[in-house]
Amino acid sequence: MNPLTLEWVSKAEGDYSTAGRELRAHKSPNFDAACFHAQQCAEKYLKALLQEANIPFGKTHNLIALLELLLDFQPSWETTRSHLDYLTVFAVIFRYPGETADKPTARQAVTHSMAFRARARSELGLPQ
Secondary structure string (H, E, C) spanning the chain: CCHHHHHHHHHHHHHHHHHHHHHHCCCCCCHHHHHHHHHHHHHHHHHHHHHHCCCCCCCCCCHHHHHHHHHCCCHHHHHHHHHHHHHHHHHCHHHCCCCCCCHHHHHHHHHHHHHHHHHHHHHCCCCC
CATH architecture of 3-123: Up-down Bundle (1.20)
Per-residue pLDDT of the chain (128 residues; tens, 9 = 90+): 999 999 999 999 999 999 999 999 999 999 999 999 999 999 999 999 999 999 999 999 999 999 999 999 999 999 999 999 999 999 999 989 999 999 999 999 999 999 999 999 999 999 98
pLDDT at position 107, please? 98
* The amino acid at 35: C
